[in-house]
Chain A
């Protein structure tokens, strides 16, 4: 039972990370109607920046903050230089153009940081596990991830639904020309939204960095998962992304944790350990396919504009 709770927490933590990635993606997607495959590259950059800055400043928190700022700047620059030219184009153009950007960023990272991966070590105060339930110790760092991501989710909700900036963003999403005609600087607004999305991706990357190694292409597989999340949740819906992300995180983690034991009943133990991770990954895509067939607009579609 304790193991089950622990795995649920792991799933929640992974789901919240996915949410950070998916939130930026769904904002850009819902507001600018841009399919951005290069979002995973920003996730990767966040991790690389954090590893570098943390080594320079000798402080995890300072490094993380600098990395956030750096990803924000890179994201905004990317929007101004390249991506804003893709607005209003075909989705196929987005796929192709941003696919090219993935190659570009992967090579850029290889050029700057070299082909070997990096690691980001945690500060002492985040390492010891805490007892959250009698007999259940859970790593402090994972709790920190869960809390940070929940705070960010709250911040996003307040930002989009309760502030003037969020109101402008929503207005720009529903009618770009009209909002522009009322004197709002739409292109600046879009650049800001894109930068925000980039920073969220960077945050996800840098928080994942101490758990996995920082390496080239680390954003590619998780990007596809983030796409699955926003499709299940309904494009443009932050609430949908939140729920779908946690759902996907739980399925993935719990599948990985418990399927091997189940499969061992019918397969050899080596077979089970190969098949189980593949099966839990397949379950996610199966879920997405089922959702798309039954509710093509996702679980929480944004009410029609």
Chain B
């Protein structure tokens, strides 16, 4: 597969270069906010990429994917509180518990179709959400502050913003690469085939349930790792991380960026989180000639623009941003 110089590849290359340059730019301008923001973008991009495996390629609309962010986060938080602050313990536990939970949820919910699948994945996520609310020992509703970031025996210092940033970026690139390899393999062809027509796939002899379940577990495990990263990033974990609206955000990222595309979810995460930062500014700047000081107050209500934007994407840009880029012809 040779990479052609299409507009889409150029955009992706530029995006990756920009992401790699963020800490450098931040160091020069002493702007730590950008590093914090883009660490978050990268981690959520990783979560969205894992969701894309099942949502985009597998056609399984999981409406509870944020639950793995929570599980991964609580694995780090609870272990840290109990005195096990080594990342070599915390992160594998985060991945393993997420994978096991995904196995349970997948085994039960993949028997259902369509909207029932959406709702049963949501139900399991709500189950864990309320479990978190009831976790009296670990902060319950108020959440758990993680005093100490995961320790890696002196190899890595996660308290260093730049090191942590590049670690997240590296893990994101590995994730995108692995999923791209996976979906182009025989395994990936089977889950994509099952998305198009499950009955035919079974008729020609593929036990699709096992394939889809495996994909579901892989997606959960990767998102669990993203959760461990997120908890390290914010130094805090609470049930709000797995609120159903967070799962909605992940779906938005995947669809906004472009389903069933390797870089789509990352583009979606960048676009969504940048919009959240940029919309208030845009509103303020564009409204101030007309409304003067009132523009500052208007900018507070930026979500009033963001919401209908989702609707417009659904109605007019089905392939998401990646689809638009792919549609642009050269010259």
* Chain A residue contacts of B134, Cβ below 8 A: 274-279, 282
Chain B interface, >50% SS class: helix
Tell which of A95, A107, A227 touches B248, judged by Cβ atoms closer than 8 Å: A95
* Chain A residue contacts of B184, Cβ below 8 A: none
**By the criterion CB–CB under 8 Å, are A104 and B303 in contact?**
yes
**By the criterion CB–CB under 8 Å, are A274 and B122 in contact?**
no
**By the criterion CB–CB under 8 Å, are A92 and B251 in contact?**
yes
Q: How far is the CA of A206 from the CA of B303 in the complex (A)?
A: 25
Residue B292 at the A interface, CB < 8 A? no
* Chain B residue contacts of A296, Cβ below 8 A: 111-113, 116
Stretch binding the partner chain, chosen from B70-78, B175-183, B305-313: B305-313
Q: How far is the CA of A219 from the CA of B190 in the complex (A)?
A: 40
B 78-117 to A, binary, CB cutoff 8 A, 1 in contact else 0:
0000000000000000000000000000001101111110
**By the criterion CB–CB under 8 Å, are A292 and B303 in contact?**
no
Shortest distance in angstroms between A147's beta carbon and chain B's nearest beta carbon? 31
Chain A interface, >50% SS class: helix
Tally of chain A residues near chain B (CB < 8 A): 48
**By the criterion CB–CB under 8 Å, are A96 and B251 in contact?**
yes
**By the criterion CB–CB under 8 Å, are B303 and A103 in contact?**
yes
Contact-size category for B: 35 or more
* Chain A residue contacts of B302, Cβ below 8 A: 107
* Chain B residue contacts of A85, Cβ below 8 A: 315
* Chain B residue contacts of A286, Cβ below 8 A: 127
User: Which residues of chain A from 87 to 108 have a CB within 8 Å of any chain B CB?
Assistant: 89, 91-93, 95-97, 99-108
A 22-66 to B, binary, CB cutoff 8 A, 1 in contact else 0:
000000010000010100000000000000000000000000000
Known contacts A279-B134, A292-B116, A224 near B303 by CB under 8 Å: no
Residue B252 at the A interface, CB < 8 A? yes
**By the criterion CB–CB under 8 Å, are B122 and A227 in contact?**
yes
* Chain B residue contacts of A107, Cβ below 8 A: 301-304, 307
* Chain A residue contacts of B115, Cβ below 8 A: 29, 35, 91, 235
B 304-331 to A, binary, CB cutoff 8 A, 1 in contact else 0:
1011111101110010000000000000
A 188-225 to B, binary, CB cutoff 8 A, 1 in contact else 0:
00000000000000000000000000000000100010
User: Which residues of chain A from 240 to 282 have a CB within 8 Å of any chain B CB?
Assistant: 270-271, 274-279, 281-282
Tell which of A35, A96, A279, A288 touches B314, judged by Cβ atoms closer than 8 Å: A96
In order of increasing CB-CB distance, the 5 nearest A-B pairs are: A278-B134, A100-B310, A104-B307, A103-B307, A107-B304
